[in-house]
Chains A and B, each alone.
Chain A
Amino acid sequence: MDFSSALDFICKEAKRQGADDFDALAGESNSIGLDLFEGKVKNTEISSSRGIGIRLFKNGCPGYSFTEKFSKEALAQTVKDAVAHTLLTGPLDLDLPEPGVLPELDLELWSNELETVSLEQMKKLGLALEASALAKDKRIANIPYLGVSRSSGYSLICNSHGVRYSVKGNSIFAGLGVVAKDGDSTKMGIYSNSARSIDEFNTTFMAETAVERGISLLGAHSINSGRMPVVLSNRISPQIISMFTSPFYAEVVQKGQSKLEGMLNTQIAGDKITITCNPHIKGYPGSRLFDGEGVVSAPCPVIENGILRNYLYNLESAKKDKRQSTGNASRDYSGQVGTGFSNLVMDKGSSTLDDLLAASPECLYITNLEGSSGCSSISGEISIGVQGYLVKSGKIVHPVDGITVSTNFFTLLKEIDGLSNEYSDTHSSVKVPDILVASMHVAG
């Protein structure tokens, strides 16, 4: 059974099996790509997968199920499972949306041209990246990670009130991780990005950036423990902010797991900080016209000049707080409804990166995070290994590794002293500039 027919069938079956209300989400994804090693293709992958998930309500109680099998028997069993699950859950107070008017925006999520990019073109791009990287510096000992792939996705959502929306998107990815070696010092430099056309990739720039990132950390050593100003590169500031998005979700606040509970319309960050959840930015991967529950999406201010303006809502959390959903339901066909940012954008500042680095006599400029395990979105604790550079009077003195930095995210928000006027060039749904933090604990 094809994709659309399967969705129709599951909806009919839900009605037949006595569902009062339901919404269903079908998703299909395709990808093609390869990775290379030492001038040869190491792995090639061609994939196609699809599935349908349903949330149905009976006597006000929700039940979920999903399937990747599109036979009539499998789809009917999926509905049966969801119905059975309604017997286990309690009533859930929410109103599924009625059909709405989607904004007339071209979010530029799809490119026909991209669908014609062949494996041969990807191989050529990968080989060019490898050759450029090796030619750039003799200290590049190895390129263990080098891949190019393109992927596309199509999803369709409908509900028992007549909502039926679809969206499709595609992108191409290329990236490399190089190992730089000098004596006993070994460092990795990574550059990767996604684009909407293969022609957007500048292989020389990408390769040289990865090489530079590895080489410039060779010979890194620790620094003394203490407190000092820190500049978070725009390469890693989006990673840090992304780890602490859940405290802004109303469902997390309602369940007592957010330190932002009761903080609406209060100052939670430095007055330079403005964060918006904006689903309507052209070409951003998180852009969308509707959310995972079929609610029409719209921009939502989260922090304005340091003041917390809004939590993000889905239908359930909105009903609890007696307000409208902000259109931030997240969902894939195999999962349950949650909450998520579409695109998270922190406004840029007016300083240059050099201004931030020169703002104090001495600072730590962090360009690499070692994992994310030392960060808890619940407590806000940050304790994490980092690499970067010691900077004095605006000049890099030496690369640094073997250190950790420690603070609390909610303290960090208040201690932001400056923002640069530049985002990293990464094709990402999270855009955050370089950040100057007044002080963090450094252990070395």
Chain B
Amino acid sequence: MENTLAQNIIQSGLDRGADFVEIFEEEARNASVVFKDKKVESARAGTEYGIGIRLVYGFEVLYGFTSKANEEELLTIVRSLALSKGISADTQKPPITLAPVSVTDIHTVTQDPRVVGQEHKLPLLKRADEAARNYSTKISQVSVSASDMVSDIYICNSDGLVIEDSRVRSRFSISVTAGENGDIFAAREAPGSMQGFEFLEGLDCEKYALQAAQRAELMLSAGYIKGKQMPVIMGNGFGGVIFHEACGHPLETESIRRKASPFIGKLGQSIAHSKVTAIDDGTIANGWGSSNIDDEGNPTQKTVLIENGILKSYMSDKVSASELNLPVTGSSRRESYKYAPVSRMRNTYIAAGTDSFEDMVTSVDDGLYAKKMGGGSVNPATGEFNFVVEEGYIIEGGKIKGPVRGATLIGKGHEILPMISMVGTDLELAAGMCGASSGLIPASVGQPTLKVDNILVGGR
């Protein structure tokens, strides 16, 4: 967008009494190839384009968006938003001065996916398909995909900020189905990175194919765990999804401002075991949930949420930080121009500790080793969560025994945090997609292997 056009739109909002006006323009190119049933199932690409306009009056947010990028359309949105507050007349405000800022790019992208071409994804997909199918005769279906997205954004606001950025992300995904005697199970792996085609080209796709195939086959022979309260050792990497859902979301100021969080008023207080330090970091180079700037144009940060059990910070965006009198943490995010930004997580993880895996296992007499977590969800207002264990094992007498299927973990995030009594050294992050009021965004979850003393495990 031309700065002069942006300036006119912003001025129009200010003239209608808005305290803050922002334009977010985005053009995103998505491309993917899906290989399923031993053939290319689909190859597609597309362009998303639109402009979002945000007017803030005090702490009230008015948002409009359109994919029609002409001045009249944009001015109509401003007028309609202001009119919704009963403001129809203009009051001339002093003209704003724009001060363009350059982004410092901390992410190295060497192969722009738009240039490389979709055909170069095929060898990778075929290799992964072959590796999974060769693992076992029980593998009945394999679906592999390689996708990328290049999003060019332009932000201009009434503080005078003008900033542009380009975000390049690539993701590989494999889902392997195994079947035997009428039983079928599927397992999935989906690594991703803020990189271009070099990520896919350098990926050890066979490793992920084998992990998924192994897990799908293993679950065919798994039994059920007897459901009850028990100690649980949670595997590293995607195991961090529980902290993300059950503690991360209630630490976003979007939950705090709605008084829908058990962590309200707890800054500076002990909310977790002293072994727990948790971080949300948007600055990890090429991290799946990273970015140079957030979706309001603020530099992203590394935010320590919990340090040795003490709550140190929430994650905030401009409006909620102002409303709650908190510092901005560069956490404002949105799926696309179709959403107003709110505070969201980026790459969220529990920091590495010092406990060994062996010590954790031997400390459990009757429990569960949740090696690989599946998805889950939480009600931020009550903290109640529900997660599925994708790969789990019974622990008996300090030893890992047979695999179990259909195990679920339920509880309340703020009640679990004090019960994390052992934290391992093997911190790992994993890519995921996080859904909330500002849409579906890429976010990493992570943790080392850790032990929770007591949690309800659902089973049979």
Known A65-B46, A179-B260; judge A45-B185 contact (CB<8 A): no
B227 adjacent to A404 (CB under 8 Å): yes
Known A46-B77, A371-B377, A441-B227; judge A89-B43 contact (CB<8 A): yes
Q: Shortest beta-carbon distance, A275 to chain B, in Å?
A: 22
Q: Determine the chain A residues whose CB is within 8 A of the CB of B410 once the complex forms.
A: 370, 385, 402-404
A142 adjacent to B84 (CB under 8 Å): no
Known A49-B66, A259-B184; judge A188-B40 contact (CB<8 A): no
Contact residues of A between 57 and 85, Cβ < 8 Å to B: 62-70, 74, 77-78, 81-82, 84-85
A142 adjacent to B67 (CB under 8 Å): no
A5 close to B (CB within 8 Å) = no
Contact among B44, B59, B119 for A63, CB-based, below 8 A: B44
Residue of B nearest to A387 (CB): B384
Q: Which of A66, A74, A87 has the most CB of B within 10 A?
A: A66
A441 adjacent to B459 (CB under 8 Å): yes
A88 adjacent to B118 (CB under 8 Å): yes
B47 adjacent to A67 (CB under 8 Å): yes
What is the total number of residues of chain A having a CB less than 8 Å from a CB of chain B? 77
Contact residues of A between 420 and 444, Cβ < 8 Å to B: 441-444
CA distance A403 to B39 in the complex (A): 43
B375 close to A (CB within 8 Å) = yes
Contact residues of B between 353 and 407, Cβ < 8 Å to A: 374-379, 381-382, 384-388, 405-407
B36 adjacent to A255 (CB under 8 Å): yes
Contact among A403, A441, A444 for B460, CB-based, below 8 A: A441
B186 close to A (CB within 8 Å) = yes
CA distance A441 to B48 in the complex (A): 46
A166 close to B (CB within 8 Å) = no
Q: Determine the chain A residues whose CB is within 8 A of the CB of B64 once the complex forms.
A: 45-47
A381 close to B (CB within 8 Å) = yes
A65 adjacent to B45 (CB under 8 Å): yes
B44 adjacent to A336 (CB under 8 Å): yes
Q: Determine the chain B residues whose CB is within 8 A of the CB of A50 once the complex forms.
A: 67-68
Contact among B184, B224, B458 for A384, CB-based, below 8 A: B458
CA distance A67 to B347 in the complex (A): 30
A406 adjacent to B224 (CB under 8 Å): yes
A63 adjacent to B63 (CB under 8 Å): no
Known A186-B381, A257-B184; judge A68-B45 contact (CB<8 A): no
CA distance A379 to B226 in the complex (A): 19
Contact among A336, A385, A401, A443 for B459, CB-based, below 8 A: A443
B122 adjacent to A88 (CB under 8 Å): yes
B214 close to A (CB within 8 Å) = no
Scoring B residues 406 to 432 as 1 if CB is less than 8 Å from chain A, else 0, what string do you get? 111011000000000000000000000
Q: Which of A89, A402, A443 has the most CB of B within 10 A?
A: A443
Q: Determine the chain A residues whose CB is within 8 A of the CB of B228 once the complex forms.
A: 225, 443-444
Q: Determine the chain A residues whose CB is within 8 A of the CB of B46 once the complex forms.
A: 51, 53, 65-68, 78, 81, 334
A192 close to B (CB within 8 Å) = no
Residue of B nearest to A89 (CB): B40
Q: Determine the chain A residues whose CB is within 8 A of the CB of B60 once the complex forms.
A: 40-44
A45 adjacent to B177 (CB under 8 Å): no
A351 close to B (CB within 8 Å) = no
Q: Shortest beta-carbon distance, A63 to chain B, in Å?
A: 6
Q: Shortest beta-carbon distance, A381 to chain B, in Å?
A: 5
B33 close to A (CB within 8 Å) = yes
Q: Determine the chain A residues whose CB is within 8 A of the CB of B388 once the complex forms.
A: 373-374, 383
B381 adjacent to A119 (CB under 8 Å): no
B40 adjacent to A90 (CB under 8 Å): yes
Q: Determine the chain B residues whose CB is within 8 A of the CB of A383 once the complex forms.
A: 388, 406-408, 458-459
Q: Which of A44, A74, A188 has the most CB of B within 10 A?
A: A44
B49 close to A (CB within 8 Å) = yes
Residue of B nearest to A247 (CB): B184
CA distance A259 to B457 in the complex (A): 26
Q: Which of B37, B46, B140, B411 has the most CB of A within 10 A?
A: B46
A404 adjacent to B456 (CB under 8 Å): yes
Q: Shortest beta-carbon distance, A76 to chain B, in Å?
A: 12
Residue of B nearest to A88 (CB): B43
Contact residues of A between 108 and 142, Cβ < 8 Å to B: 119-120, 141-142
CA distance A373 to B186 in the complex (A): 14
Chain B contact-residue range equals: 35 or more
Q: Determine the chain B residues whose CB is within 8 A of the CB of A49 once the complex forms.
A: 50, 65-67, 338
CA distance A444 to B67 in the complex (A): 50
B8 close to A (CB within 8 Å) = no
B91 close to A (CB within 8 Å) = no
B177 adjacent to A378 (CB under 8 Å): yes
B84 adjacent to A46 (CB under 8 Å): yes
A66 adjacent to B44 (CB under 8 Å): yes
B119 adjacent to A404 (CB under 8 Å): no
Contact residues of B between 197 and 241, Cβ < 8 Å to A: 219, 224, 226-228
A37 close to B (CB within 8 Å) = yes
A376 close to B (CB within 8 Å) = yes
Q: Determine the chain B residues whose CB is within 8 A of the CB of A255 once the complex forms.
A: 36-37, 141
Known A89-B40, A259-B184, A373-B376; judge A406-B456 contact (CB<8 A): no
B227 adjacent to A443 (CB under 8 Å): yes
Contact among A37, A45, A188 for B379, CB-based, below 8 A: A188
Q: Determine the chain A residues whose CB is within 8 A of the CB of B378 once the complex forms.
A: 371
A443 adjacent to B81 (CB under 8 Å): no
B61 adjacent to A44 (CB under 8 Å): yes
A202 close to B (CB within 8 Å) = no
CA distance A88 to B63 in the complex (A): 41
A68 adjacent to B48 (CB under 8 Å): yes
Q: Shortest beta-carbon distance, A252 to chain B, in Å?
A: 10
B408 adjacent to A404 (CB under 8 Å): yes
A45 adjacent to B47 (CB under 8 Å): no
CA distance A306 to B422 in the complex (A): 51
Residue of B nearest to A337 (CB): B42
Q: Determine the chain B residues whose CB is within 8 A of the CB of A373 once the complex forms.
A: 374-377, 386-388, 408
Residue of A nearest to B220 (CB): A379
Contact among B47, B182, B186, B219 for A68, CB-based, below 8 A: B47
Q: Determine the chain B residues whose CB is within 8 A of the CB of A18 once the complex forms.
A: none
B124 close to A (CB within 8 Å) = no
B80 adjacent to A370 (CB under 8 Å): no
B179 close to A (CB within 8 Å) = yes
Instruction: A44-B63, A53-B46 are known; give 16 further A-B pairs, CB within 8 A.
Output: A66-B47, A67-B46, A88-B43, A119-B84, A370-B386, A374-B458, A379-B183, A381-B405, A382-B406, A383-B459, A385-B384, A385-B410, A385-B458, A404-B458, A405-B458, A406-B459
Mind listing 11 A-B residue pairs with CB under 8 Å?
A: A42-B60, A47-B66, A70-B68, A78-B47, A120-B84, A144-B260, A373-B387, A385-B408, A402-B410, A441-B227, A441-B460
B-contacting residues of A (Cβ < 8 Å)? 34, 37, 40-51, 53, 62-70, 74, 77-78, 81-82, 84-85, 87-90, 119-120, 141-142, 144-145, 177, 179, 186-188, 222, 225, 255-257, 259, 334, 336, 370-374, 376, 378-379, 381-385, 401-406, 441-444
Q: Which 10 A-B pairs have the closest CB atoms?
A: A443-B227, A404-B458, A371-B377, A64-B44, A66-B46, A385-B410, A370-B386, A144-B260, A85-B43, A385-B386
